[in-house]
A = this chain, B = another copy of it.
């Protein structure tokens, strides 16, 4: 049952934090690793689970894979909007993650820029 898989995907703190990071746009795996301070294999696995559940989609751009929220699942299950827009903002760790993401982007540490260093 598809909706059960949705709930299973949401029922994990790391995946919820990932979905929270993606609420303002797409990110590549390494940015998520850095901001959440988790291992690469772990990030990849959780992203795959969110993807299989239909919550996010991916797009490969040269060597990076960008993940973003899947608009179609939100049309199909409108309650997900309520979670993303209303609930994540109430959770401390999610707010902190957004702050860390902002700093991470500002610091020039994201992967495209990392490549350009000496």
Contacts and interface: CB of A to CB of B under 8 A. Distances in A.
A11 B13 contact: no
A37 interface: no
Residue of A3, A8, A13, A86 contacting most chain B CB atoms (<10 Å): A3
Interface residues of A, number: 20
Given A7-B11, A16-B4, A87 B79 contact: yes
Nearest to A92: B1
Main secondary structure of the interface of A (DSSP, over half): helix
B12 A10 contact: no
Given A11-B7, A13-B1, A16-B3, A87 B77 contact: yes
A107 to B, nearest CB: 28
